[in-house]
Amino acid sequence: MSPEMNLMLFVLGTCISSATSKQFIFVNEAKTFDEAQIYCRRFHCDLASVQDTADFSSLQAAVSGITTPDAWIGLKRAEPNWLWSLSDSAFYKEGETEYRRWRAGQLDNAGGNENCCTVDGGGEFWDVSCYSRYPFICYDGNENALQRYVFVDQNKNWKDAQTFCRQNHTDLVSVRNLDENLRVQVLVPPGALVFIGLFKDTFRWSDNSSSSFRRWSVREPNDSGACVAQRLSDINTWVDQNCNDTRPFVCQDGEKVQILRVKLKSGQNVNDPVMKVFIKEKIQEKLVSLGMPKDAKLQWRVQSDGEIFHLLENDMNSWK
């Protein structure tokens, strides 16, 4: 007898590209940000997203020699989202970018500007102002590094700490899992708070990728607008602009994929291995009926706690 279950699917379109296949295309047509996004999604994959320095170099190459002042890329202001400073997607396993261990009562955004994160000696996270000054921990990913986690006993604001880590090591430390949390917390002096690489970002990529890579010009973003353009005429940095302004833009090509968000109602434990197989089969049947190829592969996204589904607080019989 099949388990009773109500299933709702929420489908988000996105694009993925390997390091060898991602291509940027400069389009010399003046359009608003929304018009440029529609064009890129119709004829390519999406507006350009930048995951790391390699992507940024490819983007620079695509616009090399262009004399127009600037061009839209796929970054736009959105609801705040917590991201790690180190944006290399290859650095994180499935679910590791979402690892959090907030102290009870934190995420209170006291003063309305607590957009950076510290860790205490117990490994718990605190949201604090980015302009506060704390010591910090760097991560060093170089092959010849004497130590991976480097405590720096200098009080700096978050941005200056990030700059120091990037110049002398790799970046501010990411805490990807419980093991790394334990490694980091032993470096924190008793009673102290120490900056780590987690920060609240107010911009989101058009293709829904979670990269925290940014290349802002000096004193940017300055609230000139909600959409982002890359300067082409001077130093290839980024500025925020009015989304209704018209300018050329950069698209990207890549493999289109679908991300599914699933909401279930069931009286059974949907994290049970047998139930997960059953649910995946039902999702496959539903998507095939909507036109998905029968040989398309489905893969669960594992959360930072190792589970697939989480119980909704406002509905004890709902999982997502």
Q: Given the DSSP bridges, would you call strands 255-265 and 46-47 parallel, antiparallel or unpaired?
A: unpaired
Rounded CA-CA distance 39/106 in Å is 42
What whole-number distance in Å separates Cα of residue 73 and Cα of residue 49?
Answer: 7
Q: How do beta strands 194-205 and 70-84 pair?
A: antiparallel
What is the mean pLDDT of the segment spanning 259-273? 71
Q: Which fold has domain 18-76+212-253?
A: Mannose-Binding Protein A; Chain A (3.10.100)
Alpha helices in 137-217 (DSSP H): 158-168, 178-185
User: Which pLDDT does position 248 carry in this prediction?
Assistant: 97
12: exposed, middle or buried (Cβ count in 10 Å: 0-12, 13-18, 19+): exposed
Residue 274: Cβ-neighbour burial (10 angstroms; 0-12, 13-18, 19+): exposed
Distance from C-alpha of 128 to C-alpha of 117, rounded to nearest angstrom? 6
The 10s digit of each residue's pLDDT in 21-30 is 579 999 999 9
Q: Which residue has the tokens 């406002």?
A: 314
What is the rounded CA–CA span in Å between residue 201 and residue 212?
8
pLDDT in the model for residue 320: 41
CA 162 from chain center: how many Å?
17
Q: Where are the domains of the chain?
A: 6-11+260-319, 18-76+212-253, 86-201
- What is the rounded distance in angstroms from the CA atom of residue 99 to the CA atom of residue 102? 10
Name the percent of the chain lying above pLDDT 70. 81
Summarize the confidence of residues 85-89 as an average pLDDT.
85
Contact, 264 vs 4, CB < 8 A?
A: no
Between 113 and 318, whose confidence is greater? Answer: 113
Mean pLDDT of the chain, nearest integer: 84
167-197 confidence digits (pLDDT tens): 999 999 999 999 999 999 999 999 999 999 9
H helix and E strand count, the chain: 5, 15
pLDDT in tens, 96-119: 989 999 999 998 887 778 999 999
